[in-house]
């Protein structure tokens, strides 16, 4: 199973997620600092985030767990905030709109 498949498998359906992907190695992780700064301006609270490195494929994933809500809202807001060029991201909506439900954080996939 690839690292990307493990990341997707470990997303908790009680929360929404944005997963950013970049080419690079773990030592290039600072490239996500601008994205983290942009995420701090979202109206939907960021619950936590985790950096996952696929050393074999030389890919980095920034997995950001958000409060539950529709994926369309996340995408629209990220576009309005102005992401850096050549940014690839995937938005996943929660399967429940129950704000009071707690879930697990993304598990370690390394």
| pLDDT for residue 18 | 94
Greater confidence, 106 or 83? 83
In a domain, 109, yes or no: no
Strands 88-92 and 46-54: unpaired
Q: Confirm if 14 and 101 have CB atoms less than 8 A apart.
A: yes
d(CA 27, CA 104): 27
| pLDDT for residue 73 | 85
| pLDDT for residue 31 | 79
| Nearest Cα to Cα of residue 84 among 107, 62, 110 | 62
| pLDDT reading at 101 higher than 60 | no
- CATH code of the domain covering residue 82: 3.30.70.260
d(CA 81, CA 29): 21
- Count up the domains in the chain and report the number: 1
- What is the span of the domain harbouring residue 19? 3-92
pLDDT digits (tens, 9 = 90+) for 22-33: 888 887 778 789
| Nearest Cα to Cα of residue 62 among 71, 76, 51 | 51
């Amino acid at each position: 199973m690839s690292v990307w498949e493990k990341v997707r498998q470990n997303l908790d359906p009680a929360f929404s997620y944005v997963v950013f992907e970049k080419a690079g190695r773990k030592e290039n992780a600072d490239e996500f600092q601008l994205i983290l700064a942009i995420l701090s301006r979202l109206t939907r609270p960021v619950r936590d985030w985790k950096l996952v490195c696929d050393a074999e494929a030389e890919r980095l994933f920034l997995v950001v767990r958000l409060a539950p809500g529709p994926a369309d809202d996340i995408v629209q807001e990220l576009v309005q905030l102005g992401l850096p060029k050549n940014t690839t991201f995937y938005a996943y909506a929660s399967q429940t709109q129950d704000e009071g439900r707690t879930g697990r954080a993304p598990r370690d996939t390394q």
